[in-house]
Amino acid sequence: MKTLRIALIGAGYIADYHARGLQTLDGVEMTSVVSGQLANAKKFAQKYDIPHAYDSIAEVVADDRIDAVIISTPNAFHAPYAIEFLQSGKDVFLEKPMAMDALEGQQIQDIAVQTGNLVMVGHMWRFDADTDCVKQSIESGRLGKIFKTKGYGIHENWGPSGWFTKQELAGGGALADMGVHAIDTVRYLLGDPLPVKVYARIATHFGDYDVDDTGILMITWDNGTESIIESGWWHPHMDGPEASTGLYGTKGYASLFPTFLKLTKGEESSETITPELPERTEHCDQVIYTNQMAHFVDCIRTRSTPVPGIKEGMVVLQIVDAAYESSKSGEAVKIGR
């Protein structure tokens, strides 16, 4: 089995999760790490026994021995970096969101098609055991037709700082940071329907920054389901943790985080089922990221299209773009029609 040589672009909080995941995989070598601050790159390299640390992507782009990169930078660098790496013959993993907007996402897609290289997007809740359990229950028909969902991407009494709160680097605020988790999670649970229409109210209530920290979206899917999505930072309460989702069906209800089913038994009774699931050490558990990295590596070896990949990442960007447009105009925005 050929050893895959992978470089990490970005040495922040989320890069640790990716590195720990890659460490567990056979036939994978983390060869380089890049950070805008060389000291941070060197510290990260020492922590994970990575031989090369750089403060520029130039060395990684030029190194033909590197097979793939993991990009965990501010959103503004996702598209330009991905395009450079794809053009240099490397497969690319992009943290969410895939790009600043759908136009940049399309640019990534065009280059990926031209080069034949792979792109995976870090919508990691697709690799979670609880999420898959709920998805299987929906697919089995136990809940009947899903007609409504509510999903959450909210930080309670907390919010990020730094580049996350700068429009020029992040593209958006809590919606681009947290809301995208709720959007992609419910889409995965529903079997990846396409959005038809988005209505949104987006605002800033908690900080002196040029991005949003509050959002409410309503998404109409092409399967007839309506989804409510809430995003936020610094909120005094959240109805559920990151990616928490409630799904309302004609035969019952499913909750993701906390995870349980509530099946209708008649006018005045229901049965609540709590499935046996792996114990979580933290909400965003390491195993999710490890599974994500394992999928990326397997796709590189088999030359298979990653899921979530460009297609899934683009749908999320289209919804986010439509939400910001809707909030400005006060009108619902149609997608793909």
pLDDT digits (tens, 9 = 90+) for 13-40: 999 999 999 999 999 999 999 999 999 9
Pairing between β-strand 195-203 and β-strand 333-334 as defined by DSSP bridges: antiparallel
Band of pLDDT at residue 337, cut at 50, 70 and 90: low
Spatial strand order of the sheet with 4-9 comes to 52-54, 28-34, 4-9, 68-71, 91-95, 119-122
Surface-to-core class of residue 140, CB atoms within 10 Å of its CB (0-12 exposed, 13-18 middle, 19+ buried): exposed
Looking at residues 84-104, what average pLDDT do you find? 98
- The percent of residues in the chain predicted with pLDDT above 90, rounded, is 97
Give me 85's structure tokens: 């790496």
Q: List, in order, residues 6 or more apart from 58 with CB less than 8 Å away.
A: none
Q: Within 10 Å of residue 272's Cβ, how many Cβ atoms?
A: 11
Alpha-carbon distance values, 121 to 70, 174, 180 (Å): 10, 18, 12
pLDDT one-digit tens code per residue, 213-270: 999 999 999 999 999 999 999 999 999 999 999 999 999 999 999 999 999 887 777 8
Q: Pick from 259, 201, 37, 112: which is nearest to 45 by CA?
A: 37
What are the tens digits of pLDDT across the range 33-45?
999 999 999 999 9
Report the CATH number of the 4-125+287-306 domain.
Answer: 3.40.50.720
Q: How does the average pLDDT of the chain come out, rounded?
A: 97
Top CATH class, 126-282+317-334: alpha beta
Give 304's pLDDT tier (boundaries 50, 70, 90).
very high
Residue type, 196: V
Q: Give the pLDDT of residue 275.
A: 96
Hey, where are the domains in the chain? 4-125+287-306, 126-282+317-334
49: left (phi over 0), alpha (psi -120 to 50) or beta: left
